[in-house]
Amino acid sequence: MDNLFTVEALATLAGASYLVYLIVAYTKSYVKIPTDIYAVGVGFVVLLAAQFALGASPGDWVVYFLSLANGFLVAASAGKANDKAVDTAKKG
């Protein structure tokens, strides 16, 4: 990657997953809900913000549905990245 986050990058699975991983890693100690559910919520917000920035209509219910559905995918991907990072740190 030769640049920082862009709106287009945040709308992808890889970009959104990386941002969710960072947000959850640094803020999970401040929330009182399970980390998996928190990650889905963060993913939903990140994807929703990216969609609106790309011109999606706030009145279109499909944007909310797809952002929530994709939020689960983003959270799962971010969780696997976390598992890999923790596993590598334990072995290292």
Note down pLDDT in tens along the chain; length 92 residues: 566 778 888 899 999 999 999 999 999 999 999 999 999 999 999 999 999 999 999 999 999 999 999 999 999 999 888 777 776 666 66
- Sequence-distant (6+) residues with CB within 8 A of 31 are 38
What is the domain extent for residue 58?
7-91
| pTM (predicted TM-score) | 0.86
Establish if 28 belongs to a structural domain.
yes
Establish if 2 belongs to a structural domain.
no
Establish if 23 belongs to a structural domain.
yes
Distance CA 50, CA 26 (A): 21
Establish if 1 belongs to a structural domain.
no
Establish if 83 belongs to a structural domain.
yes
Establish if 62 belongs to a structural domain.
yes
Establish if 67 belongs to a structural domain.
yes
Q: How many domains does the chain have?
A: 1
